[in-house]
């Protein structure tokens, strides 16, 4: 099971690296290995995620602490993944910093959310109604990670979801790696679409859209 999950997460990492979503060693990924006890693999801090090595991930427990003795450090945002796995049946969670998600989080940060309506890719979030409205929360970028995790947890309400951290990045999760990646891709598409729209219709900047 551990080896299978390791390979699965490594494949996701490779794919996201090809998109150049890990600039400056930023970002972190996690995948659940077991429920009882809660254990999951998470990216090791400070690693070049464009490369594939035997030290890309480490196994941590329900507190985000390494299960076995190691010189590796869990990623700084490991506590966000802890909140996801404690509160939902999610099996994979991904956190990336992109220019698009940072700009969107700043443009709509004062609203506390960014809203999308009438976009086909909303379906990636399981919303199939014709007039479905997707609202993605935006929280402040607290430097104190336990505080950040506490605020983040307020928006962890289902087995699939996404939360923007202002001028920081996005964290998404799903029941498995495929679903989490689908939510991430859809979110980044929506962000890029919205920014393109603002280029051509600047007045949209002042609407909660």
Q: What is the pLDDT of residue 203?
A: 54
Q: What is the pLDDT of residue 41?
A: 98
CATH among 3.40.225.10, 1.10.3720.10, 3.40.50.300, 3.40.640.10 for 2-206: 3.40.225.10
Q: Which residues, other chains included, contact 27 with Cβ-Cβ below 8 Å and sequence gap of 6+?
A: 16, 21, 43, 49, 94, 95, 96, 97, 169
Q: What is the pLDDT of residue 155?
A: 98
pLDDT digits (tens, 9 = 90+) for 25-70: 899 999 999 999 999 999 999 999 999 999 999 999 999 999 999 9
- Positions in the chain short of pLDDT 70: 202-209
Q: What is the pLDDT of residue 55?
A: 94
Structure tokens at 88: 């939902």
Q: What is the pLDDT of residue 130?
A: 82
Q: Determine if the pTM surpasses 0.85.
A: yes
Tell me if 169 sits within 8 A of 180, measured CB to CB: no
Q: What is the pLDDT of residue 191?
A: 97
Q: What is the pLDDT of residue 54?
A: 93
Q: What is the pLDDT of residue 202?
A: 61
Q: What is the pLDDT of residue 208?
A: 45
- CA-to-CA distance for 65 and 16, rounded, in angstroms? 25
Q: What is the pLDDT of residue 27?
A: 94
């Amino acid at each position: 099971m551990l080896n299978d999950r390791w390979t699965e997460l490594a494949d996701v990492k490779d794919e996201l690296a090809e998109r150049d979503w890990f600039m400056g060693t930023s970002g972190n990924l996690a995948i659940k290995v077991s429920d009882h006890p809660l254990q999951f693999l998470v990216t090791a801090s400070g690693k070049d995620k464009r490369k594939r090595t035997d030290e890309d991930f480490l196994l941590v427990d329900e507190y985000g602490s390494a299960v076995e003795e190691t010189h590796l450090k869990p990623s700084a945002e490991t506590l966000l993944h802890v909140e996801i796995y404690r509160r939902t049946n999610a099996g994979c969670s991904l956190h990336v910093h992109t220019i698009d998600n940072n700009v969107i989080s700043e443009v709509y940060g004062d609203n506390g959310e960014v809203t999308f309506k009438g976009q086909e890719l909303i379906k990636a979030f399981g919303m199939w109604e014709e007039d479905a409205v997707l609202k993605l929360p935006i929280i402040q970028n607290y430097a104190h990670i336990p505080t950040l995790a506490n605020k983040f947890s307020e928006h962890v309400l289902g087995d699939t979801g996404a939360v923007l951290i202002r001028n920081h990045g996005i964290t998404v999760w799903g029941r498995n790696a495929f679903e989490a990646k689908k939510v991430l891709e859809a979110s980044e598409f929506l962000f890029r679409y919205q920014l393109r729209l603002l280029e051509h219709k600047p007045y949209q900047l002042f609407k909660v859209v």
